[in-house]
Structure 1
Amino acid sequence: MIKLATLLFIGGTEIVFILFIVVLVFGADKLPEIARGMGKGMRTLRDATNDIKHEVTKSAKESNILDSDTAKDIQQEIDKIKDEVEDFSGSIKRKM
């Protein structure tokens, strides 16, 4: 069985229909400007997120809050639990 790719529970035909409506509303000549503006907005948001993440990490290191050994131990425990859950859910999926 071939699964169709979906984006946010929207199928391919719905995406094509939405794009058709966007072209009708804004016109083909305005689409590059809209896409460029959305790209700049996404870039600004990503840069702001990275700056905030960098500042939080920097202040945590300065305050000795961030202990890399503890973080590694926690990540290992999370990975172990994730593997156990995947093994358990895999056996459930096979039975169904």
Structure 2
Amino acid sequence: MLVACGTLGYELPKDKWFCCDDCNRIYVALQNSVSAGADTIPSSLSELIIRKHEERGLCTYGSMNDIQWRILSGKSRYPEHLPLLSRAAAIFR
């Protein structure tokens, strides 16, 4: 497999997937985020999201300030991810 990561392309050894330490760190950080589950958005940001939605007439959350986000992974096969991934995929159909 030939891979380029901000450098000239080069052949990866069969036992390695990532071409550099930075790529490996990104992968580990993403995997940790998937494993950690939902994370609450700070209230300063959730207030901004709520205000923008209300301005556009999308939704009114009222006093709701517990907006969460999470990174999902279909490859991880976490049972709780599958219905969420299915609903997310439906948005793009």
User: TM range, normalised to the smaller chain?
Assistant: under 0.3
Larger radius of gyration, structure 1 or 2?
A: 1
The answer to which structure, 1 or 2, has the higher relative contact order (CA under 8 A, 6+ apart) is 2
The structure in which a higher percent of residues are helix is: 1
Scaled by the length of structure 1, the TM-score of the pair is 0.24
The structure in which a higher percent of residues are strand is: 2
Scaled by the length of structure 2, the TM-score of the pair is 0.25
